[in-house]
């Protein structure tokens, strides 16, 4: 529900594709949809459930969605483990606005392009300092950076906010 209704978004297309094998009944009826906002790191839907109750459905970066829902140490531990394996972890939460519940996690693998290692190596040879800028979790970013030959400190994005 909290995904875009057009096929241009690769993440949402993958979620829709995976869900076709798992039919569900009594799906919520969409009332409103707010597309993914990179600043908020979420997309959101408002829907009515089978009993005509209104609920929010939010999909986005694990840390953001987890902060909007009831705490789940199990989900936090699982997300940390997945991030340490290089996965980008999204979460989905749903429920009444005042009592959102974490519904599940989505682990995405986004491997670097095949030519990344050679390009970064060539840039180093030319004396170009190369950095990676990403919104991924620091553990995920460190694994991807190392895989392409970028070894250095991983900085939290909040250190670099624009004024």
Q: Where are the domains of the chain?
A: 10-108, 116-160
Torsion of CA 6, 11, 13, 14, to 10 degrees: -170
Rounded to an integer, what distance in angstroms lies between the CA atom of residue 42 and that of residue 77?
21
Beta strands in 23-123 (DSSP E): 29-37, 42-48, 54-61, 88-95, 101-108
What region, left, alpha or beta, does residue 26 occupy, with left being phi > 0 and alpha being psi -120 to 50 degrees?
A: left
**Hey, how many other C-beta atoms are within 10 angstroms of the C-beta on 106?**
17
Model pTM score = 0.75
CATH number of 10-108: 3.40.1110.10
The pLDDT tens digits along the chain (163 residues) read: 555 555 567 777 888 788 777 777 777 888 999 988 888 999 999 998 878 788 999 999 999 999 999 999 999 999 999 998 889 899 999 998 789 999 999 998 878 888 999 999 999 999 998 888 887 778 888 888 888 988 877 776 555 554 4
């Amino acid at each position: 529900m909290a995904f875009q209704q057009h096929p241009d978004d690769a993440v949402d297309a993958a979620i829709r594709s995976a869900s076709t094998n798992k039919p569900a009944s009594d799906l919520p009826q969409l009332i409103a949809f707010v597309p993914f906002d990179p600043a908020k790191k979420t997309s959101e839907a408002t829907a009515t459930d089978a009993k005509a109750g209104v609920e929010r459905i939010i999909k986005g970066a694990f840390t953001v969605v987890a902060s909007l829902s009831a705490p789940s140490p199990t989900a936090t531990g699982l997300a940390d483990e997945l991030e340490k394996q290089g996965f980008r972890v999204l979460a989905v939460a749903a429920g009444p606005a005042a009592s959102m519940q974490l519904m599940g996690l989505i682990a995405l693998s986004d491997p670097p392009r095949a030519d990344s290692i050679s390009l970064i190596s060539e840039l180093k040879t030319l004396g170009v300092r190369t950095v990676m800028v990403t919104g991924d979790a620091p553990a995920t970013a460190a694994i991807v950076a190392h895989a392409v030959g970028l070894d250095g400190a991983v900085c939290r994005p909040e250190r670099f906010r624009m004024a």
